[in-house]
């Protein structure tokens, strides 16, 4: 990993407020969905790789500065499925905690824009995460609190706020019922 000061300089170079993305990662660095290792419940299903041996998650704007020196097994790919110029970080299913992207740190929650920044269960987690059945109440309170605070912090940055809104729209489309055409009855 790059030294913190290097990351801050790289983020400043690309016009990003380094403080926000680093503070967001820091806020989510000591909390996990359960007090115990939830990966033991599911064989770390959310880290499972695809048929090519890779899994991936989108980086938040500016977060790529944390991956200029890619940890072993990580790769970066262009991905415009959610936002133009998006970046997908792929891994091989294991990582050191301090190399984890924000998307992994908050899973199975997702950041949303409501209330100036909030979290909710990520519907994409239903297919693999056994914690979804017990809802937000089943998650470690400190994890949910930290994720909420992180959402508010990210919403204070225009690029991160736009990313969160775009992701909300993307998930809304993904989960739209086939009979819902967006119209009124
Ligand atoms: S799928 Fe859910 S329970 Fe399993 S490791 Fe990921 S967050 Fe934890
Ligand atoms: S980066 Fe780490 S936490 Fe995220 S999917 Fe890969 S192995 Fe799992």
Q: Whose CA is nearest to atom 5 of ligand 1?
A: 39
Please give the distance, rounded to the nearest whole angstrom, from the Cα atom of residue 16 to the centre of ligand 1. 31
Q: For the chain, give every domain's residue range.
A: 4-174
Q: Of the candidates 163, 155, 111, 167, which has an alpha carbon nearest to the alpha carbon of residue 20?
A: 155
Q: Which strands form 75-78's sheet, in the order they lie side by side?
A: 55-58, 87-91, 75-78
H/E stretch holding 78 = strand 75-78
pLDDT at 185: 56
pLDDT at 1: 44
pTM over 0.85: yes
Q: Which among 42, 55, 133 is the best mutation to test ligand 1's pocket, defined by most ligand atoms within 8 Å of the CB?
A: 42
Instruction: Name the token pair of 157.
Output: 């940055």
Pocket of ligand 1 (CB under 6 A): 33, 38-39, 41-42, 44-46, 107-108, 128-131
**What secondary structure, in 3-state letters, does 152-177 show?**
HHHHCCHHHHHHHHHHHHHHHHHCCC
Residues of the chain with pLDDT under 70: 1-18, 182-185
Cβ–ligand 2 distance for 11 under 6 Å, the answer no
Cβ–ligand 2 distance for 106 under 6 Å, the answer no
pLDDT at 184: 62
């Amino acid at each position: 990993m790059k030294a913190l000061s290097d990351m801050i300089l790289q983020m400043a170079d690309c016009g990003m407020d380094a403080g926000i993305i680093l503070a967001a990662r820091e806020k989510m660095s000591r909390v996990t969905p359960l007090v115990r290792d939830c990966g033991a419940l599911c064989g770390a299903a959310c880290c499972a790789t695809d048929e090519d041996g890779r899994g991936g998650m989108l980086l938040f704007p500016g977060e790529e500065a944390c991956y200029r020196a890619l940890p072993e097994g990580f790769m970066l790919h262009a991905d415009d499925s959610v936002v133009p110029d998006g970046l997908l970080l792929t891994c091989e299913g294991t990582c050191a905690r301090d190399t984890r992207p924000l998307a992994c740190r908050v899973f199975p929650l997702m950041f949303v824009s409501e209330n100036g920044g909030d979290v909710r269960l990520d519907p994409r987690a239903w297919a693999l995460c056994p914690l979804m059945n017990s809802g937000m109440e089943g998650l470690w309170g400190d994890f949910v609190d930290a994720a909420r605070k992180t959402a508010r912090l990210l919403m204070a940055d225009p690029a991160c706020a736009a990313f969160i809104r775009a992701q909300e729209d993307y998930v809304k489309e993904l989960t739209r019922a086939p009979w819902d055409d967006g119209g009124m009855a």
